[in-house]
Structure 1
Amino acid sequence: MSQISIFSASIGNGHNEASNALQEQFQLRGDSVTVVDTFQSIHPLLHKLFLDTYLNMLRLTPRLWGKLYEYGEAYSWFLLMDYLGAFFSEQLYSTIRKQRTTVMISTHPFVTAFLAKLKRKKRLDIPLYTVITDFHLHPAYLRPEIDAYFTASPYYDRFAKIYKVPLEKFYYTGIPIKAIPNVCVPRWKIRTDLHVDPYEKTVLIAGGGLGLGNYVEILRTLDHLKKPIQVLIMTGMNTTLNRKLRNYQGKHRIHVIPFTKQFTAYLRASDIVISKAGGLTMSEALACETPIIIYKPVPGHEEQNAEILMELGTALKAEKKEELVVLLEQMLTNPLLYEQMVRRTKCVKQPAAAVNIVSCIHELEKRLKNSNHR
């Protein structure tokens, strides 16, 4: 029986959500599976270092993060993570031995670098699979020790050719998410169940599990809409933001909602979602067939996600707050535009990504065992 270890990182909530979605599907198939918060398990100070550095960079110098991300496509600075990973190989190796791991899965690129270094250093004969939680593919994900890549990028074949990676290592599965509400159930019914107005035009504002984003700026901008609407403000785990927005007075009916396991129900209940372009939130919005307006994505990975989603016709992007009002008015008042975007989400969505990834890994493991028995 396989002992599966999914290595995640609590740097943003998306990596954990993807890990939990996979864990759920493995368990449904009777597998023994554990999710490891990698940097926290190595040492809480290492986790704090990564998290604080990431958040401070996004808050204080987001363009620097974007430049580093862009620079990394031409120069392999990200291989520094392999050298850093060498310092923590023994701690990770201890975790793998303790759990008797036979399959390693990573949902974060830095974690992947650590595991690849461990596999190389200890000469581990354990398959390593990486689940990419963005729509854009970046060479920082690539390591020769990785046995398969699971991606939501429709351009994976082009990427594989550029970086000379065997195409058969890539699986176009989408990003793993948990089960979503039945899209055949009308939005008004879901709104009723969530105790919000069932018949009012509804816009959801999201900033990921950490509640990052320009919430107040967006709310002030929405006050310029011609007609009142209903606004669902998802503040995630940002309790300071939650308290601040509860005192906001504006033109619209506002519901401030902290971190909830019903996030996808609120997504499905909404006519439009305004968000950055985090991979998990975008995947969930597509699965819920909720058109997207991307506003001020994080430079780097989120900007690249935004570009891909716009190319696919499932999202519009507002660079400035004035554009946000114009795009919202168009989507709320132009049924043809709105239905066109809904149709595109139906073509692109991959709600069964977690199921498909688990099935692929089972098949890969079966092939590996058969080859070993020959």
Structure 2
Amino acid sequence: MTVEGRAVVISARIGAGHDGAAGELTRRLSGLGFAVDRFDYLDLLPGRWGQRLCDAYHRELEIAPASWDWLLAAMGHAPLAGLARAVSALALPNLRKVLAPAPRLVVSTYPLASQALGALRRKGELDAPVAVYLTDPSVHRLVVSQHADLHIAPNDHAAAAVRRFGAPATEVARPVVAPEFRPALPGERDRARRRFGLATGERLALVVSGSWGVGEVEEITADVTATGVAHPAVVCGRNEALRERLTRAGVPRVFGWVRDMPALLRACDVVVQNAGGLSTLEALATGVPVITYRCLPGHGRANARVLDEIGLVPSVTGVAGLAQALSTARPSGLPAGADPAGLLARLAGMRIPEVPAA
């Protein structure tokens, strides 16, 4: 395969959504012939600033999750957004280093990285086209860089919001999900259930809460059980303390970090989620219906509103509403749209054929 040039993809290990999108974009761009270098924005910050930022975000979600409602609202105002842009500039010295030699394309999946790249474009220090890939269905001011050449949005609602914040060019694309996340083949669901020790005759609701296992997971689990409609199977991600608490409480189907999430999703009948992030997209791609319940404050609630508004994932409240949703949930699949890798390749000047929207 002819090498089409160097592409740089920058994400961040805050949750799994930014990295998940970056990983799949890297795979697709590599398939188009790019030599892709991928970096974590947090590692580009000086000293231990990156890890401290990640830890602070994680602790805030655990200890004071309600503060994220305030923070998201504040992001809509110029002073705090300006402060965030100033903080993003701390990565510029190391960012300049990883962008040498000059790439043909730069892609960001993380807001602070997008702001830092925008600063380089504004200063005339970066000639390569810059694209921002939006990982969430909702949009706040900080995800938009007015100096990026292209913003790729997962739905029309997000695209409209990006334009209101002054993005020069926006395209709607089908969300990127790894190809392993696909609907079950005949007999595959029962094989997956036996593999994970799940009963084949039960209606199972998979409770997910991101890679960190944050939010009202224990309450969600209890409410699913109280409905009598489905039995909960809970994924705790890297939150071992949560896993231990649920196990001690007698919840029979509790998982930690799951390496084969596609198979576990295919084993279940419905997903109950609280953030509207990567797990939601993976479930939709797998053909499993998704419900939002007891969502996280801040971006979790913003995502839930958008997903409900566009008819992709219903957001419900109360045990009665949960019971109704668990009974009637139907798969919707991922929304249609162009392949984002194709949009990126064309931004970099590659001539590739138009692929019909899926």
| Band the TM-score falls in, shorter-chain normalisation | 0.7 to 0.9
- With 305-314 and 152-161 compared, the bigger mean Cα shift is at 152-161
- CA separation of 1:25 and 1:365: change in aligned 2, threshold 3 A: same
Give how far 1:284 is off.
1.5
- With 28-37 and 71-80 compared, the bigger mean Cα shift is at 71-80
Give how far 1:265 is off.
2.5
**What is the letter of the counterpart of residue 366 of structure 1?**
G
- Residue in 2 that maps onto 1:232: 233
Give how far 1:328 is off.
3.6
- Residue in 2 that maps onto 1:38: 41
- Residue in 1 that maps onto 2:69: 66
- CA separation of 1:223 and 1:311: change in aligned 2, threshold 3 A: same
- With 139-148 and 204-213 compared, the bigger mean Cα shift is at 139-148
Q: Is the 8 A contact 2:275 2:303 kept in 1?
A: yes
Q: Which structure carries more helix by proportion?
A: 1
- CA separation of 1:138 and 1:235: change in aligned 2, threshold 3 A: same
Give how far 1:94 is off.
1.1
- Residue in 2 that maps onto 1:365: 348
Q: Is the 8 A contact 2:236 2:256 kept in 1?
A: yes
Give how far 1:36 is off.
0.5
Alignment partner of 2:226: what SS? coil
Give how far 1:311 is off.
1.6
Cα deviations across residues 223-274 of structure 1 (Å, max 9, x unaligned)?
Answer: 32336x4432111112222233333315xxx322222232132223221111
Q: What are the ranges of 5 or more consecutive residues in structure 1 without an aligned counterpart?
A: 369-374
Distance across 2 between alignment mates of 1:43 and 1:243: 36
Give how far 1:41 is off.
3.7
- Residue in 2 that maps onto 1:220: 222
Q: Is the 8 A contact 2:153 2:159 kept in 1?
A: no
- CA separation of 1:220 and 1:172: change in aligned 2, threshold 3 A: same
Cα deviations across residues 13-45 of structure 1 (Å, max 9, x unaligned)?
Answer: 111111111111122233211221111243451
- Residue in 2 that maps onto 1:144: 146
Alignment partner of 1:150: what SS? strand
- CA separation of 1:297 and 1:225: change in aligned 2, threshold 3 A: closer
**What is the letter of the counterpart of residue 303 of structure 1?**
R
Distance across 2 between alignment mates of 1:161 and 1:132: 13
Alignment partner of 1:124: what SS? coil
- Residue in 2 that maps onto 1:266: 264
Distance across 2 between alignment mates of 1:331 and 1:89: 47
- CA separation of 1:28 and 1:42: change in aligned 2, threshold 3 A: same
Q: What are the ranges of 5 or more consecutive residues in structure 2 without an aligned counterpart?
A: 352-358
Give how far 1:214 is off.
1.9
Cα deviations across residues 90-114 of structure 1 (Å, max 9, x unaligned)?
Answer: 11111211x6433211111111112
- CA separation of 1:181 and 1:299: change in aligned 2, threshold 3 A: closer
Distance across 2 between alignment mates of 1:103 and 1:32: 10
- Residue in 2 that maps onto 1:22: 25
Give how far 1:202 is off.
0.7
CA RMSD of aligned residues (A): 2.5
Q: Is the 8 A contact 1:206 1:234 kept in 2?
A: yes
Alignment partner of 2:263: what SS? helix
- Residue in 1 that maps onto 2:356: none
Give how far 1:7 is off.
0.6
Distance across 2 between alignment mates of 1:86 and 1:307: 32
Give how far 1:128 is off.
0.9
Give the length in aligned residue pairs. 346
Q: Is the 8 A contact 1:105 1:130 kept in 2?
A: yes
Distance across 2 between alignment mates of 1:30 and 1:162: 34
Task: Pick from 92, 105, 113 the counterpart of residue 89 of structure 1.
Answer: 92
Q: Is the 8 A contact 1:86 1:118 kept in 2?
A: no
Q: Is the 8 A contact 1:274 1:292 kept in 2?
A: yes
Alignment partner of 1:126: what SS? coil
- CA separation of 1:256 and 1:365: change in aligned 2, threshold 3 A: same
Identity %: 23
Q: Is the 8 A contact 1:136 1:153 kept in 2?
A: no
Q: Is the 8 A contact 2:9 2:22 kept in 1?
A: yes
Q: Is the 8 A contact 2:105 2:130 kept in 1?
A: yes
Q: Is the 8 A contact 1:286 1:349 kept in 2?
A: no
- CA separation of 1:329 and 1:159: change in aligned 2, threshold 3 A: closer
Cα deviations across residues 141-160 of structure 1 (Å, max 9, x unaligned)?
Answer: 22232011111132245335
- Residue in 1 that maps onto 2:275: 277
Q: Is the 8 A contact 2:207 2:233 kept in 1?
A: yes
- Residue in 1 that maps onto 2:15: 12
- Residue in 2 that maps onto 1:371: none
Distance across 2 between alignment mates of 1:296 and 1:154: 25
Alignment partner of 2:161: what SS? helix
Give how far 1:172 is off.
0.8
- CA separation of 1:296 and 1:49: change in aligned 2, threshold 3 A: same
Q: Is the 8 A contact 1:237 1:259 kept in 2?
A: yes
**What is the letter of the counterpart of residue 175 of structure 1?**
P
Work out whether 1:329 is the aligned partner of 2:323: yes
- Residue in 2 that maps onto 1:246: 247
Give how far 1:163 is off.
3.5
